[in-house]
Structure 1
Amino acid sequence: MIPISDNLRFRRRPIINYWLIGINIFIFLWEIKLELSGELGAFINTWGLVPSQISTAVNHALFINPAAWVVVFGRLFSLLISIFLHGSFSQILGNMLFLWVFGKAVENILGHGRYLAFYLAAGVLTGIVQIMIEPTLTVPLIGANGAIAAVLGVYVMKFPKIKIDTILPLILVYIPIQLPASFYLFWWYIQQLFYGIGSLNIPPVGVNQPTLAYWMQLAAMIIGAGYMRKNLTHDCC
């Protein structure tokens, strides 16, 4: 299933959503350049989110040397940077497609500034959840999956019955259909089974696998749905 668009009409242009998509694509093109020069592995291992590095730094700061908090704050920067990194062509295409379809309405609901803050905060919070649950994980985690899952949670909470224009590919035939937005809570997970297609060469082995655990993205959806239920009182249309 390939979501194309909804039939919502917006009062404001989703300029932040456009910028987020553009920045993600630009950085992915930069990753391709780094791959060609053999520098991508070092780049991802430096700026990807590595839970073991952060948990080790926190433990060191708490129990050995308080001055290590400087290292912790430096490591925490990867929580933000990793949101804009992707490990495969299928991952960047799938994530940006979902952001294009569902992010526009969410930005219209929240407004430009709140949407940007929500997107970044959701990505960071899901990264923190990952660190807390798997503090010994040594594989760098990259991708906007968590942030986009939260956006999807907001969208479906607000518009559960909105029909999404969808293309159903059947070999060489593409059939246009409409599916309820709530269907994509399920399809979001299914389509990520294909995120390993077109993977970049990122050593060590395992870094370029689909990046954020499914349960972590479920937490992101809950964050989005909870935020929507608690804070939003006005309609976009």
Structure 2
Amino acid sequence: MIPISDNVRTRHRPIMNYWLIGINIAVFFWEIQLELGNKLGEVIYSWGVIPAQITGAIANAIANPAAWVVVCLRLIALPVGMFLHGSFSQILGNLLFLWVFGKTLENILGHGKYLGFYLLSGIWTALVQIVAEPSLSVPLIGANGAIASVLGAYMMKFPKAKIDSVIPLIIIYIPAKLPAFVYLFWWFIQQLFYSIGSLNIPPSGVNQFSIGYWAQAAGLIIGAVVMKLQRR
């Protein structure tokens, strides 16, 4: 299933959503250049969220207060890692969902609040992943958690919305209008295919670099809770 648009009217141009999509695309092209120069692994391991490094830095800082500087440096990866992606399918899937669901959400929240919601949701979901897997030693990258929050907020606000979609059937593409909640389930199924077209990230060369299901489930809940509070 490929979402195209929704049936919710918007009054304002989603400028911030355009910027987020553009930045993600630009960063991914930069990653491709790094891969060609065999420098991608160094950048991913420097700016991706590595739970084991962060929890280790916090443990050291508890014993040595001066080490909190290192913790702060490690935490910079929380927002930066959101804009790094490990495969073509990952970034295409994320940005497609952001294009369809993010523009409507920005129209409700406004440009500034929408940007804050997007960034904070990505940071919160990464923190959930760190708590869930504190010893994980591979980088977590991608906007999966933030997109899950966007999806959760959208479902809370527009549970009965219809999504203009295209359903591929071998070589035939069937247009359809699907309830928004269908994409809630499709989102998790789509995560299984993110290894397709993965970049060659040393040392393993295998695409292990996506935020896991714990963070995505947390993202959905975070988005729904924020929208509930916004409605109040």
* Band of TM-score, shorter chain: over 0.9
Instruction: Give yes or no for contact 1:164–1:181 (8 Å, CA) kept in 2.
Output: yes
Corresponding residue pairs, total: 232
CA shift at 1:80, angstroms? 0.7
Alignment match, 1:175: 174
Distance in 1 (CA, whole Å) between partners of 2:139 and 2:206 is 6
What is the TM-score of this pair, normalised by structure 2? 0.98
What amino acid does structure 1 have at the position aligned with 2:212?
A: A
Matches within 5 A, 1:86-235: 86-205=85-204, 208-209=207-208, 211-233=210-232
2-side partners of 1:43 and 1:104: how far apart?
30
Which moves more between the two structures, 211-220 or 42-51?
211-220
Query: Would the alpha carbon gap of residues 59 and 138 (structure 1) be closer, same or farther in structure 2, given more than 3 Å must change?
Result: same
After superposition, give the CA deviation of every residue in 1:54-83 in whole Å (9 maximum; x if it has no partner).
000000001x21100000000000001000
In the superposition, the TM-score normalised over structure 1's length comes to: 0.96
Q: Take 1:56 and 1:206, find their aligned partners in 2: how far apart are those partners?
A: 25
The structure-2 alpha-carbon separation of the partners of 1:122 and 1:75, relative to structure 1 and needing over 3 Å to count, comes to same
CA contact (8 A) 1:91 1:210 kept: no
1:6 alignment partner AA: D
Report the residue type matching 2:19 in the other structure.
W
**What letter corresponds to residue 2 of structure 2 in structure 1?**
I
Residues 60, 68 of structure 1: 8 Å contact kept: yes
Contact 1:140 1:207 in 2 (8 A): no
Determine helix, strand or coil for the equivalent of 2:13.
Answer: coil
| Paired residues for 1:39-118 under 5 Å | 39-62=39-62, 64-118=63-117
In the alignment, structure 2 segments of 5+ residues that lack a partner are none
Q: Deviations over 1:89-112 (max 9, x none)?
A: 000000000000000011011000
Instruction: Quickly say closer, same or farther: Cα 1:91–1:11, change in 2 above 3 A.
Output: same
* Residues 6 and 162 in structure 2, CA contact (< 8 A), matched pair in contact too: yes
* 1:140-173: CA deviation from partner (whole Å, max 9, x where unpaired): 0000000000000010111111110110001110
Q: CA offset at residue 191 of structure 1?
A: 1.2
Equivalent in the alignment of 1:19: 19
Note the alpha carbon deviations across 1:108-143, whole angstroms, 9 max, x for none: 110000000000000000111111111110000000
Deviations 1:21-64 (A, max 9, x none): 000000000000000000000010000000000000000001x2
Taking structure 1 as reference, are residues 58 and 90 closer, same or farther at Cα in structure 2, changes over 3 Å only? same
Shift of 1:231: 1.8
1:178-233 deviation line (CA, Å, top 9, x unaligned):
11001111000011111110000001227623511112101110000011111225
Residue identity over aligned pairs, in percent, reads 66
CA contact (8 A) 1:141 1:211 kept: yes
| Partner SS, residue 5 of structure 1 | strand
Q: Is the 8 A contact 1:139 1:206 kept in 2?
A: no
